[in-house]
Amino acid sequence: MTFVWRWRVALMASSVGIIASMLRFTALGWPKALVFDEVFYVRGGFSLATLGYEGNWTGENDAFAQGDLSGLEAEGDFVVHPMVGKLFIALGIQIFGNNPFGWRVMGALLGVIMCVMLAFIARHLLRSTLWGMIAGLFLAVDGQGIVLARTGLLDIYLAFFAVAGFGALLVDRHVTRRKLAERAADARAAAHLAPGAKLPGMGPGLGIRWWRWVAILMFAMAGSVKWSGFYFAAAFLLLSVAWDLLDRRSAGVQRWAWGGLLRAVPAGLLAIASTLVVYTATWFPWFMSNDSYGRHWAQANPGKGTTWLPDSLNSLVHYHLQMWKFHENLTTEHTYMSNPWFWPLQWRPTAFFFENAPDAACGAERCVSAVHALGNPLIWWAGSIALGYAIYRMIRHRDMLALTVSLGAFAAWLPWLPYAYRTIFTFYTIAMAPFLVLTLIWALKNVAQPDRLRGGWSRGGTIVALSFVGAVLVISGFFAPLWLGTPIPFAYWQAHMWLPSWV
Protein backbone atom coordinates (compact mmCIF):
# COMPACT_ATOMS: atom_id res chain seq x y z
CA MET A 1 0.00 0.00 0.00
CA THR A 2 2.87 2.38 0.76
CA PHE A 3 4.29 1.78 -2.71
CA VAL A 4 0.91 2.48 -4.34
CA TRP A 5 0.52 5.67 -2.29
CA ARG A 6 3.97 6.91 -3.29
CA TRP A 7 3.40 6.01 -6.93
CA ARG A 8 0.16 7.98 -7.07
CA VAL A 9 1.65 11.02 -5.36
CA ALA A 10 4.69 10.94 -7.66
CA LEU A 11 2.42 10.70 -10.70
CA MET A 12 0.35 13.65 -9.45
CA ALA A 13 3.33 15.90 -8.80
CA SER A 14 5.22 14.97 -11.98
CA SER A 15 2.19 15.26 -14.27
CA VAL A 16 1.25 18.69 -12.95
CA GLY A 17 4.88 19.86 -12.98
CA ILE A 18 5.54 18.68 -16.55
CA ILE A 19 2.38 20.23 -18.01
CA ALA A 20 2.90 23.49 -16.11
CA SER A 21 6.54 23.62 -17.23
CA MET A 22 5.69 23.06 -20.88
CA LEU A 23 3.18 25.91 -20.87
CA ARG A 24 5.42 28.30 -18.96
CA PHE A 25 8.89 27.64 -20.38
CA THR A 26 8.15 26.96 -24.04
CA ALA A 27 9.31 30.01 -26.06
CA LEU A 28 9.59 31.97 -22.82
CA GLY A 29 11.79 34.52 -24.59
CA TRP A 30 8.85 35.60 -26.78
CA PRO A 31 7.74 38.36 -27.14
CA LYS A 32 11.17 39.96 -27.47
CA ALA A 33 9.90 43.21 -26.04
CA LEU A 34 8.89 44.78 -22.75
CA VAL A 35 5.33 43.55 -22.31
CA PHE A 36 2.85 45.88 -20.58
CA ASP A 37 4.19 46.80 -17.09
CA GLU A 38 7.47 44.98 -17.69
CA VAL A 39 8.64 48.45 -18.63
CA PHE A 40 8.63 49.28 -14.91
CA TYR A 41 9.51 46.02 -13.20
CA VAL A 42 12.05 44.52 -15.59
CA ARG A 43 13.98 47.76 -15.84
CA GLY A 44 13.74 48.06 -12.05
CA GLY A 45 15.11 44.54 -11.70
CA PHE A 46 17.96 45.30 -14.07
CA SER A 47 18.77 48.45 -12.09
CA LEU A 48 18.85 46.45 -8.85
CA ALA A 49 21.16 43.93 -10.50
CA THR A 50 23.57 46.61 -11.72
CA LEU A 51 23.34 49.62 -9.39
CA GLY A 52 22.06 47.90 -6.27
CA TYR A 53 19.04 50.22 -6.17
CA GLU A 54 16.31 51.35 -8.55
CA GLY A 55 17.58 54.17 -10.70
CA ASN A 56 15.56 56.49 -12.89
CA TRP A 57 15.13 55.66 -16.58
CA THR A 58 14.96 58.02 -19.54
CA GLY A 59 14.55 57.44 -23.26
CA GLU A 60 12.20 55.18 -25.20
CA ASN A 61 10.83 52.05 -23.58
CA ASP A 62 11.74 49.89 -26.59
CA ALA A 63 15.39 50.90 -26.35
CA PHE A 64 15.95 48.68 -23.31
CA ALA A 65 14.55 45.61 -25.05
CA GLN A 66 16.88 46.30 -27.97
CA GLY A 67 19.91 46.34 -25.68
CA ASP A 68 20.28 50.10 -25.25
CA LEU A 69 20.90 50.59 -21.52
CA SER A 70 21.97 54.22 -21.72
CA GLY A 71 18.66 55.41 -20.27
CA LEU A 72 19.58 54.25 -16.74
CA GLU A 73 20.53 57.19 -14.52
CA ALA A 74 22.24 57.29 -11.14
CA GLU A 75 19.34 59.28 -9.69
CA GLY A 76 17.00 57.17 -7.58
CA ASP A 77 13.59 56.40 -9.09
CA PHE A 78 10.30 56.89 -7.25
CA VAL A 79 8.82 53.38 -7.36
CA VAL A 80 5.46 52.51 -5.85
CA HIS A 81 5.81 48.82 -4.97
CA PRO A 82 8.21 47.00 -2.62
CA MET A 83 11.15 45.31 -4.26
CA VAL A 84 10.95 41.57 -3.55
CA GLY A 85 9.40 40.76 -6.92
CA LYS A 86 11.95 42.93 -8.69
CA LEU A 87 14.75 41.23 -6.76
CA PHE A 88 13.60 37.91 -8.21
CA ILE A 89 13.63 39.45 -11.67
CA ALA A 90 17.13 40.76 -10.93
CA LEU A 91 18.21 37.24 -9.92
CA GLY A 92 17.02 35.86 -13.24
CA ILE A 93 18.91 38.58 -15.09
CA GLN A 94 22.07 37.85 -13.11
CA ILE A 95 21.91 34.13 -13.93
CA PHE A 96 20.62 34.11 -17.52
CA GLY A 97 21.51 37.58 -18.76
CA ASN A 98 19.59 40.70 -19.66
CA ASN A 99 17.20 39.15 -22.15
CA PRO A 100 13.49 38.22 -22.17
CA PHE A 101 14.20 34.72 -20.85
CA GLY A 102 16.24 36.14 -17.99
CA TRP A 103 13.52 38.66 -17.14
CA ARG A 104 10.84 35.98 -16.90
CA VAL A 105 12.51 32.76 -15.83
CA MET A 106 12.07 33.15 -12.07
CA GLY A 107 8.36 33.89 -12.44
CA ALA A 108 7.97 30.85 -14.69
CA LEU A 109 9.81 28.63 -12.19
CA LEU A 110 7.74 29.79 -9.22
CA GLY A 111 4.60 29.51 -11.35
CA VAL A 112 5.34 25.82 -11.92
CA ILE A 113 6.07 25.24 -8.23
CA MET A 114 2.82 26.99 -7.32
CA CYS A 115 0.84 24.53 -9.47
CA VAL A 116 2.49 21.58 -7.71
CA MET A 117 1.92 23.15 -4.30
CA LEU A 118 -1.76 23.61 -5.08
CA ALA A 119 -2.01 19.94 -6.07
CA PHE A 120 -0.65 18.90 -2.66
CA ILE A 121 -2.89 21.40 -0.85
CA ALA A 122 -6.00 20.10 -2.64
CA ARG A 123 -4.92 16.52 -2.04
CA HIS A 124 -4.61 17.22 1.69
CA LEU A 125 -7.89 19.10 2.06
CA LEU A 126 -9.98 16.80 -0.14
CA ARG A 127 -8.14 13.62 0.89
CA SER A 128 -7.77 12.53 -2.69
CA THR A 129 -4.70 12.31 -4.90
CA LEU A 130 -6.95 12.34 -7.98
CA TRP A 131 -8.65 15.61 -7.04
CA GLY A 132 -5.29 17.06 -6.07
CA MET A 133 -3.96 16.27 -9.53
CA ILE A 134 -6.99 17.88 -11.20
CA ALA A 135 -6.57 21.01 -9.07
CA GLY A 136 -2.91 21.34 -10.06
CA LEU A 137 -3.80 20.61 -13.68
CA PHE A 138 -6.49 23.31 -13.76
CA LEU A 139 -4.06 25.93 -12.47
CA ALA A 140 -1.40 24.68 -14.88
CA VAL A 141 -3.69 25.23 -17.91
CA ASP A 142 -5.35 28.46 -16.77
CA GLY A 143 -4.57 31.57 -18.79
CA GLN A 144 -3.93 33.90 -15.87
CA GLY A 145 -1.46 31.44 -14.38
CA ILE A 146 0.28 30.91 -17.72
CA VAL A 147 0.51 34.53 -18.87
CA LEU A 148 1.59 36.03 -15.54
CA ALA A 149 4.24 33.32 -15.08
CA ARG A 150 5.57 34.14 -18.56
CA THR A 151 5.73 37.89 -17.96
CA GLY A 152 8.13 39.92 -15.83
CA LEU A 153 5.43 41.42 -13.61
CA LEU A 154 5.15 41.23 -9.82
CA ASP A 155 1.84 39.47 -9.35
CA ILE A 156 3.07 35.90 -9.94
CA TYR A 157 5.42 36.30 -6.97
CA LEU A 158 2.58 37.58 -4.80
CA ALA A 159 0.45 34.57 -5.75
CA PHE A 160 3.31 32.14 -5.09
CA PHE A 161 3.98 33.39 -1.56
CA ALA A 162 0.25 33.49 -0.73
CA VAL A 163 -0.14 29.83 -1.72
CA ALA A 164 3.08 28.89 0.09
CA GLY A 165 1.86 30.61 3.27
CA PHE A 166 -1.48 28.82 3.11
CA GLY A 167 0.26 25.49 2.59
CA ALA A 168 2.53 26.10 5.59
CA LEU A 169 -0.51 26.84 7.76
CA LEU A 170 -2.09 23.55 6.69
CA VAL A 171 1.08 21.70 7.72
CA ASP A 172 1.04 23.61 11.01
CA ARG A 173 -2.51 22.49 11.71
CA HIS A 174 -1.75 18.88 10.85
CA VAL A 175 1.25 18.85 13.20
CA THR A 176 -0.33 20.76 16.08
CA ARG A 177 -3.63 18.87 16.00
CA ARG A 178 -1.77 15.61 16.44
CA LYS A 179 0.45 17.12 19.14
CA LEU A 180 -2.60 18.56 20.95
CA ALA A 181 -4.35 15.18 20.96
CA GLU A 182 -1.24 13.46 22.34
CA ARG A 183 -0.68 16.03 25.09
CA ALA A 184 -4.36 16.06 26.02
CA ALA A 185 -4.24 12.26 26.38
CA ASP A 186 -1.11 12.53 28.56
CA ALA A 187 -2.79 15.18 30.73
CA ARG A 188 -5.84 12.94 31.24
CA ALA A 189 -3.63 10.03 32.18
CA ALA A 190 -1.72 12.18 34.68
CA ALA A 191 -5.02 13.36 36.22
CA HIS A 192 -6.42 9.79 36.25
CA LEU A 193 -9.29 10.76 33.93
CA ALA A 194 -11.07 8.50 31.50
CA PRO A 195 -9.86 8.76 27.86
CA GLY A 196 -13.03 10.55 26.74
CA ALA A 197 -13.41 12.81 29.77
CA LYS A 198 -13.36 16.60 29.58
CA LEU A 199 -9.92 18.00 30.28
CA PRO A 200 -10.12 20.75 32.93
CA GLY A 201 -8.59 24.14 32.23
CA MET A 202 -7.55 25.68 28.94
CA GLY A 203 -5.61 22.73 27.61
CA PRO A 204 -1.90 22.04 27.10
CA GLY A 205 0.54 24.39 25.42
CA LEU A 206 2.07 23.45 22.10
CA GLY A 207 5.47 25.12 22.24
CA ILE A 208 7.04 26.83 19.25
CA ARG A 209 5.02 26.28 16.07
CA TRP A 210 7.69 26.39 13.42
CA TRP A 211 5.36 25.87 10.48
CA ARG A 212 3.23 28.83 11.57
CA TRP A 213 6.37 30.94 11.57
CA VAL A 214 7.11 29.71 8.04
CA ALA A 215 3.61 30.81 7.06
CA ILE A 216 4.14 34.24 8.62
CA LEU A 217 7.40 34.57 6.68
CA MET A 218 5.66 33.63 3.43
CA PHE A 219 2.83 36.11 3.99
CA ALA A 220 5.35 38.82 4.88
CA MET A 221 7.13 38.09 1.61
CA ALA A 222 3.80 38.31 -0.24
CA GLY A 223 3.23 41.76 1.25
CA SER A 224 6.80 42.64 0.31
CA VAL A 225 5.93 42.02 -3.33
CA LYS A 226 2.72 44.06 -3.22
CA TRP A 227 0.94 45.41 -0.17
CA SER A 228 -2.20 43.46 -1.10
CA GLY A 229 -0.31 40.38 0.08
CA PHE A 230 -1.02 41.44 3.65
CA TYR A 231 -4.72 40.72 3.10
CA PHE A 232 -3.79 37.05 2.86
CA ALA A 233 -1.86 37.29 6.13
CA ALA A 234 -4.85 38.75 7.97
CA ALA A 235 -7.38 36.31 6.51
CA PHE A 236 -5.40 33.10 6.90
CA LEU A 237 -3.95 33.83 10.34
CA LEU A 238 -7.48 34.51 11.62
CA LEU A 239 -8.50 31.22 10.03
CA SER A 240 -5.63 29.55 11.89
CA VAL A 241 -7.03 30.89 15.18
CA ALA A 242 -10.43 29.43 14.29
CA TRP A 243 -8.77 26.08 13.60
CA ASP A 244 -7.08 26.21 17.00
CA LEU A 245 -10.39 26.81 18.74
CA LEU A 246 -12.07 23.93 16.92
CA ASP A 247 -9.15 21.59 17.56
CA ARG A 248 -9.14 22.35 21.29
CA ARG A 249 -12.84 21.69 21.44
CA SER A 250 -12.38 18.42 19.54
CA ALA A 251 -9.62 17.42 21.96
CA GLY A 252 -12.11 17.70 24.83
CA VAL A 253 -10.59 20.79 26.46
CA GLN A 254 -13.15 22.23 28.88
CA ARG A 255 -12.23 25.90 28.43
CA TRP A 256 -11.29 25.56 24.78
CA ALA A 257 -12.40 29.05 23.77
CA TRP A 258 -10.31 30.82 26.42
CA GLY A 259 -7.43 28.46 25.80
CA GLY A 260 -7.35 29.32 22.13
CA LEU A 261 -8.03 33.05 22.36
CA LEU A 262 -5.58 33.80 25.17
CA ARG A 263 -2.83 32.13 23.19
CA ALA A 264 -3.92 33.88 19.99
CA VAL A 265 -3.36 37.40 21.37
CA PRO A 266 0.40 37.18 22.02
CA ALA A 267 0.83 35.03 18.91
CA GLY A 268 -0.93 37.70 16.85
CA LEU A 269 1.23 40.48 18.26
CA LEU A 270 4.37 38.48 17.54
CA ALA A 271 3.12 37.80 14.02
CA ILE A 272 2.61 41.53 13.39
CA ALA A 273 6.04 42.37 14.80
CA SER A 274 7.70 39.60 12.79
CA THR A 275 5.98 40.73 9.60
CA LEU A 276 7.21 44.29 10.12
CA VAL A 277 10.76 43.06 10.69
CA VAL A 278 10.73 40.87 7.57
CA TYR A 279 9.14 43.59 5.46
CA THR A 280 11.68 46.18 6.59
CA ALA A 281 14.53 43.73 5.98
CA THR A 282 13.44 43.32 2.35
CA TRP A 283 14.30 47.01 1.87
CA PHE A 284 17.96 46.24 2.63
CA PRO A 285 19.18 47.39 -0.83
CA TRP A 286 17.39 50.71 -0.31
CA PHE A 287 19.06 51.21 3.09
CA MET A 288 22.50 50.32 1.70
CA SER A 289 22.37 52.71 -1.28
CA ASN A 290 22.88 56.41 -0.68
CA ASP A 291 21.33 57.22 -4.05
CA SER A 292 18.04 55.38 -3.45
CA TYR A 293 14.98 57.58 -3.84
CA GLY A 294 14.23 59.45 -0.61
CA ARG A 295 17.01 57.67 1.28
CA HIS A 296 18.12 60.85 3.10
CA TRP A 297 14.79 62.68 3.30
CA ALA A 298 14.89 62.86 7.12
CA GLN A 299 18.37 64.43 7.16
CA ALA A 300 17.23 67.00 4.61
CA ASN A 301 14.05 67.74 6.57
CA PRO A 302 15.01 67.83 10.28
CA GLY A 303 12.10 67.87 12.70
CA LYS A 304 9.64 66.43 10.16
CA GLY A 305 8.01 63.05 9.83
CA THR A 306 8.20 60.33 12.46
CA THR A 307 10.99 61.99 14.41
CA TRP A 308 11.24 59.38 17.16
CA LEU A 309 12.54 56.89 14.60
CA PRO A 310 16.13 56.81 13.35
CA ASP A 311 16.60 58.95 10.25
CA SER A 312 16.75 55.96 7.91
CA LEU A 313 13.44 54.53 9.15
CA ASN A 314 11.87 57.99 9.25
CA SER A 315 12.82 58.40 5.59
CA LEU A 316 11.37 54.98 4.76
CA VAL A 317 8.09 55.81 6.51
CA HIS A 318 7.85 59.10 4.59
CA TYR A 319 8.55 57.23 1.35
CA HIS A 320 5.71 54.82 2.14
CA LEU A 321 3.33 57.69 2.77
CA GLN A 322 4.20 58.99 -0.68
CA MET A 323 3.57 55.55 -2.16
CA TRP A 324 0.21 55.32 -0.38
CA LYS A 325 -0.81 58.74 -1.69
CA PHE A 326 0.15 57.71 -5.22
CA HIS A 327 -2.01 54.58 -5.08
CA GLU A 328 -4.96 56.42 -3.56
CA ASN A 329 -4.92 58.99 -6.36
CA LEU A 330 -4.21 56.59 -9.23
CA THR A 331 -7.39 57.21 -11.25
CA THR A 332 -5.97 57.81 -14.74
CA GLU A 333 -8.17 56.29 -17.45
CA HIS A 334 -6.62 53.26 -19.11
CA THR A 335 -7.87 51.16 -22.01
CA TYR A 336 -7.72 47.95 -20.00
CA MET A 337 -8.67 49.15 -16.50
CA SER A 338 -11.37 46.92 -15.05
CA ASN A 339 -14.02 47.01 -12.36
CA PRO A 340 -13.14 44.49 -9.62
CA TRP A 341 -16.81 43.57 -9.16
CA PHE A 342 -16.51 41.64 -12.43
CA TRP A 343 -13.08 40.12 -11.94
CA PRO A 344 -14.31 36.56 -11.27
CA LEU A 345 -16.05 36.68 -14.65
CA GLN A 346 -12.86 37.87 -16.40
CA TRP A 347 -15.04 40.58 -17.91
CA ARG A 348 -12.26 42.93 -19.03
CA PRO A 349 -8.99 41.02 -19.56
CA THR A 350 -5.70 42.80 -20.15
CA ALA A 351 -4.08 42.69 -23.58
CA PHE A 352 -0.37 42.51 -22.81
CA PHE A 353 0.89 42.31 -26.37
CA PHE A 354 -0.52 42.54 -29.90
CA GLU A 355 1.28 42.92 -33.21
CA ASN A 356 0.96 41.85 -36.81
CA ALA A 357 3.12 38.86 -37.65
CA PRO A 358 4.62 37.99 -41.07
CA ASP A 359 2.10 36.31 -43.35
CA ALA A 360 4.34 33.26 -43.58
CA ALA A 361 4.09 32.81 -39.80
CA CYS A 362 0.62 31.29 -40.04
CA GLY A 363 -0.10 30.99 -43.74
CA ALA A 364 -3.04 33.41 -43.72
CA GLU A 365 -3.62 36.76 -45.37
CA ARG A 366 -3.13 38.45 -42.00
CA CYS A 367 -1.29 36.90 -39.06
CA VAL A 368 -1.14 38.32 -35.56
CA SER A 369 0.73 37.53 -32.35
CA ALA A 370 -1.17 38.36 -29.18
CA VAL A 371 -0.85 37.79 -25.44
CA HIS A 372 -4.00 38.23 -23.38
CA ALA A 373 -4.09 37.87 -19.59
CA LEU A 374 -7.40 36.02 -19.72
CA GLY A 375 -8.26 33.07 -17.54
CA ASN A 376 -9.84 29.92 -18.97
CA PRO A 377 -13.46 31.12 -19.21
CA LEU A 378 -14.93 27.80 -18.07
CA ILE A 379 -12.71 27.67 -14.98
CA TRP A 380 -13.54 31.24 -13.98
CA TRP A 381 -17.24 31.22 -14.77
CA ALA A 382 -17.80 27.88 -13.03
CA GLY A 383 -15.45 28.99 -10.26
CA SER A 384 -17.67 32.03 -9.63
CA ILE A 385 -20.61 29.69 -9.15
CA ALA A 386 -18.48 27.55 -6.83
CA LEU A 387 -17.70 30.62 -4.69
CA GLY A 388 -21.43 31.26 -4.37
CA TYR A 389 -21.95 27.62 -3.39
CA ALA A 390 -19.19 27.94 -0.77
CA ILE A 391 -20.98 30.96 0.75
CA TYR A 392 -24.20 28.94 0.88
CA ARG A 393 -22.44 26.02 2.59
CA MET A 394 -20.83 28.34 5.12
CA ILE A 395 -24.13 30.00 6.05
CA ARG A 396 -26.47 27.03 5.79
CA HIS A 397 -24.25 24.22 7.05
CA ARG A 398 -21.41 26.04 8.85
CA ASP A 399 -19.07 24.16 6.53
CA MET A 400 -15.52 24.84 7.70
CA LEU A 401 -14.03 23.20 4.63
CA ALA A 402 -16.00 25.57 2.40
CA LEU A 403 -14.48 28.50 4.29
CA THR A 404 -11.01 27.00 4.11
CA VAL A 405 -10.96 26.41 0.35
CA SER A 406 -12.57 29.74 -0.60
CA LEU A 407 -11.06 32.20 1.88
CA GLY A 408 -8.00 32.90 -0.26
CA ALA A 409 -10.16 33.81 -3.26
CA PHE A 410 -12.16 36.26 -1.19
CA ALA A 411 -8.98 37.71 0.38
CA ALA A 412 -7.60 38.34 -3.12
CA TRP A 413 -10.83 39.88 -4.41
CA LEU A 414 -13.05 41.58 -1.82
CA PRO A 415 -10.50 44.16 -0.53
CA TRP A 416 -10.34 45.62 -4.04
CA LEU A 417 -14.07 46.32 -4.31
CA PRO A 418 -13.92 49.71 -2.51
CA TYR A 419 -11.22 50.76 -4.99
CA ALA A 420 -13.28 50.26 -8.14
CA TYR A 421 -12.58 53.91 -9.02
CA ARG A 422 -8.86 53.27 -9.27
CA THR A 423 -6.77 52.26 -12.28
CA ILE A 424 -6.65 48.52 -11.61
CA PHE A 425 -6.59 45.50 -13.88
CA THR A 426 -8.05 42.01 -14.16
CA PHE A 427 -4.59 40.41 -14.21
CA TYR A 428 -4.45 41.09 -10.46
CA THR A 429 -6.66 37.98 -10.21
CA ILE A 430 -3.60 35.75 -10.60
CA ALA A 431 -3.45 35.95 -6.79
CA MET A 432 -7.07 34.78 -6.73
CA ALA A 433 -6.64 32.02 -9.31
CA PRO A 434 -5.17 29.21 -7.13
CA PHE A 435 -7.88 29.60 -4.51
CA LEU A 436 -10.69 29.90 -7.04
CA VAL A 437 -9.42 26.67 -8.63
CA LEU A 438 -9.31 25.05 -5.18
CA THR A 439 -12.91 26.09 -4.53
CA LEU A 440 -13.99 24.82 -7.94
CA ILE A 441 -12.36 21.41 -7.40
CA TRP A 442 -14.02 21.15 -3.98
CA ALA A 443 -17.39 21.86 -5.62
CA LEU A 444 -16.68 19.32 -8.40
CA LYS A 445 -15.86 16.70 -5.81
CA ASN A 446 -19.19 17.39 -4.13
CA VAL A 447 -20.89 16.82 -7.48
CA ALA A 448 -19.08 13.55 -8.21
CA GLN A 449 -18.87 12.33 -4.60
CA PRO A 450 -21.84 13.84 -2.73
CA ASP A 451 -21.88 13.66 1.06
CA ARG A 452 -24.80 11.23 1.08
CA LEU A 453 -22.59 8.55 -0.56
CA ARG A 454 -19.86 8.92 2.09
CA GLY A 455 -16.98 8.84 -0.34
CA GLY A 456 -18.77 6.84 -3.03
CA TRP A 457 -19.13 8.06 -6.60
CA SER A 458 -22.37 9.25 -8.14
CA ARG A 459 -22.67 7.96 -11.70
CA GLY A 460 -24.36 11.10 -13.00
CA GLY A 461 -22.11 13.41 -10.98
CA THR A 462 -19.00 11.61 -12.20
CA ILE A 463 -20.07 12.00 -15.82
CA VAL A 464 -20.68 15.72 -15.24
CA ALA A 465 -17.29 16.14 -13.54
CA LEU A 466 -15.36 14.21 -16.22
CA SER A 467 -17.13 16.14 -18.98
CA PHE A 468 -16.24 19.39 -17.27
CA VAL A 469 -12.56 18.43 -16.95
CA GLY A 470 -12.47 17.49 -20.61
CA ALA A 471 -14.13 20.76 -21.62
CA VAL A 472 -11.60 22.76 -19.57
CA LEU A 473 -8.71 21.05 -21.36
CA VAL A 474 -10.28 21.62 -24.79
CA ILE A 475 -10.89 25.32 -24.09
CA SER A 476 -7.35 25.74 -22.77
CA GLY A 477 -6.03 24.22 -25.98
CA PHE A 478 -8.20 26.61 -27.98
CA PHE A 479 -6.98 29.70 -26.06
CA ALA A 480 -3.33 28.62 -25.70
CA PRO A 481 -2.10 30.67 -28.72
CA LEU A 482 -3.43 33.82 -27.04
CA TRP A 483 -1.53 32.98 -23.86
CA LEU A 484 1.74 32.01 -25.55
CA GLY A 485 1.83 34.68 -28.25
CA THR A 486 1.83 32.09 -31.06
CA PRO A 487 1.27 33.65 -34.52
CA ILE A 488 -2.28 32.86 -35.67
CA PRO A 489 -4.64 34.05 -38.42
CA PHE A 490 -6.43 37.25 -37.50
CA ALA A 491 -9.77 35.50 -38.03
CA TYR A 492 -8.76 32.84 -35.51
CA TRP A 493 -7.91 35.59 -33.00
CA GLN A 494 -11.35 37.12 -33.59
CA ALA A 495 -12.94 33.75 -32.85
CA HIS A 496 -11.62 34.03 -29.30
CA MET A 497 -13.28 37.37 -28.62
CA TRP A 498 -16.39 35.85 -27.07
CA LEU A 499 -17.46 39.05 -25.33
CA PRO A 500 -17.36 42.63 -26.67
CA SER A 501 -15.38 43.61 -23.55
CA TRP A 502 -12.59 41.21 -24.55
CA VAL A 503 -11.72 43.09 -27.75
pLDDT in tens, 222-279: 999 999 999 999 999 999 999 999 999 988 888 888 888 888 899 999 999 999 999 9
> Residue type at 305?
G
Query: Cis peptide leading into 434, omega within 30 of 0?
Result: no
CA–CA distance, 171 with 215 (Å, rounded to integer): 9
Residues 462-474 have a mean pLDDT of 97
CA–CA distance, 220 with 227 (Å, rounded to integer): 9
Beta strand residue intervals within 28-133, DSSP E: 55-57, 72-76
Distances from the Cα of 198 to the Cα of 127, 191, 263, angstroms? 29, 11, 20
Distances from the Cα of 94 to the Cα of 105, 164, 203, angstroms? 11, 25, 52
Count CA atoms within 13 Å of residue 189 on its CB side.
6
Where b means 16+ CB within 10 Å and e means fewer, 124-147 reads ebbebbebbbbbbbbbbbbbbbbb
Residues facing residue 253 across a β-bridge: 199
Residues 309-326 have a mean pLDDT of 94
Q: At what angle do helices 155-190 and 229-250 cross, to 10 degrees?
A: 20
Between 363 and 217, where is the model more confident? 217
- Report pLDDT for 205: 85
Place 66 in a pLDDT band, splitting at 50, 70 and 90: confident
Rg from Cα positions in the chain: 25
What are the backbone angles phi and psi of residue 350, rounded to the nearest 5°?
-100, 125
pLDDT digits (tens, 9 = 90+) for 168-186: 999 999 999 999 888 888 8
Query: Residue 291 burial (CB < 10 Å; 0-12/13-18/19+)?
Result: middle
- Report pLDDT for 451: 87
DSSP state of 45: H
DSSP state of 472: H
